[in-house]
């Protein structure tokens, strides 16, 4: 039986997290009387005098954003992590345990133009962003007390972005966070058992079946994963086994820029809206150890469900039991595959 014929309730296994997701395809026809959100529009404002990320404007605490012309990086004015956090007091009980967490938080502006997003940027400008990501990862990896570098973008107010200016964040932490720590253990266990890479093997299956492959180029493939939780979730996988951006060739850096533009353009074209998402790269920890198990990838977690105004919520059974989705991954992939990789024209 092919995966596309699974039109009845079933659950699928996520080998990266070693968790399950419930698939309920028959629920796609249920009526919606829940919350309806305003859709995310596109900005035609190239410079906003009230935006603290636009060139020349004042940020919190009196810091001035310089008149930058390409990528601009600075330490977050409201950092969630500090490089000099002290040790907490001794535990009063083993169940009330705390640890120090030192770190760095940076903001990386993609472009000085306030109106842009990744899908609306030129490929050469996205490539400059990839170069900056690579340099920041390599620099933070050299800081002895830091063991993980998380690069992520929250796009749109629906995903909590406090500023629409094109930017992302980089958080470097003393400990490896829970999500990449779980992926480390899963990939390590798979390598020990099978003597091969989990995501290399998974990518071979997907490229052979093609059902869930949204788009690809010479060096990367974007897939709606077999175990996807969010309706139009995608997983971007490097076709070569490598652990982090500093290992990329020049061609792979350009190819990453291209696949990010392809994926985000298809997202925008799906509902003809500036598509919200959280995107992040999972790369090898920078803890000084060898990580042959690690395979570079990016997760896109977009919240939209059936239109530009109806979002997916994680509530009820999903919070208390396990994740659940209505649209099958194959159905989501089919819709994304059918879209143009050229950005739609605003009416």
Q: Which helix (H) or strand (E) holds 148?
A: strand 148-155
d(CA 167, CA 176): 23
Nearest partner of 148 among 339, 326, 291, 286, judged by Cα: 286
Q: How far is CA 114 from the centre of its chain?
A: 21
Q: Are 317 and 324 in contact (CB under 8 A)?
A: yes
User: Which residue in the block uniquely carries the two structure tokens 């490539």?
Assistant: 127
Q: Are 340 and 269 in contact (CB under 8 A)?
A: yes
Catalytic residue (one of 111, 114, 165, 167): 167
Q: For residues 229, 217, 251 and 202, what is the CA-based torsion angle, rounded to 10 degrees?
A: 50
167 as an active site residue: the answer is yes
Residue 34, judged by CB atoms within 10 A of its CB (0-12, 13-18, 19+), counts as exposed
Nearest partner of 177 among 285, 306, 79, 251, judged by Cα: 285
Going by DSSP bridges, is the β-strand pair 220-223/277-282 parallel, antiparallel, or unpaired?
unpaired
Question: Residue 121 has what DSSP assignment?
Answer: S
* Active-site residue list: 167
């Amino acid at each position: 039986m092919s995966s596309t014929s699974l039109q009845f309730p079933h659950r699928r296994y996520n080998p990266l997290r070693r968790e399950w997701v419930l698939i309920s395809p028959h629920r796609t026809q249920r009526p919606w009387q829940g919350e309806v959100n305003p859709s995310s529009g596109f900005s035609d404002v190239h410079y906003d005098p009230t935006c603290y990320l636009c060139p020349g404007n004042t940020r919190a605490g009196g810091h001035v954003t310089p008149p930058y012309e390409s990528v601009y990086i600075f330490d977050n004015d409201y950092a969630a992590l500090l490089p000099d956090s002290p040790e907490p007091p001794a535990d009063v009980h083993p169940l009330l345990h705390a640890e120090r967490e030192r770190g760095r938080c940076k903001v990386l502006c993609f472009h000085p133009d306030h109106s842009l997003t990744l899908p609306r940027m030129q490929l050469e400008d996205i490539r400059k962003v990839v170069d900056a990501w690579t340099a920041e990862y390599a620099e933070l990896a050299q800081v002895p007390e830091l063991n993980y570098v998380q690069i992520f973008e929250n796009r749109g107010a629906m995903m909590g972005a406090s500023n629409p200016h094109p930017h992302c964040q980089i958080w470097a932490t003393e400990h490896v966070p829970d999500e990449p720590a779980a992926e480390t253990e899963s990939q390590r266990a798979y390598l020990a058992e099978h003597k091969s890479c989990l995501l290399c093997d998974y990518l071979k299956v997907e490229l052979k079946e093609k059902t869930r492959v949204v788009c690809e180029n010479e060096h990367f493939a974007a897939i709606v994963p077999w175990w996807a939780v969010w309706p139009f979730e995608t997983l971007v996988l490097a076709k070569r086994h490598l652990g982090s951006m500093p290992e990329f060739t020049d061609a792979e850096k350009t190819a990453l820029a291209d696949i990010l533009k392809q994926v985000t353009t298809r997202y925008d074209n799906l509902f003809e809206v500036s598509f919200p998402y959280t995107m992040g790269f999972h790369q090898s920890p920078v803890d000084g150890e060898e990580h042959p198990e690690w395979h570079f990838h990016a997760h896109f977690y977009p919240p939209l469900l059936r239109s530009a105004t109806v979002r997916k919520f994680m509530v009820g059974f999903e919070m208390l039991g396990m994740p659940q989705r209505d649209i099958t991954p194959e159905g989501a992939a089919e819709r994304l595959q059918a879209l143009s990789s050229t950005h739609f024209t605003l009416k």
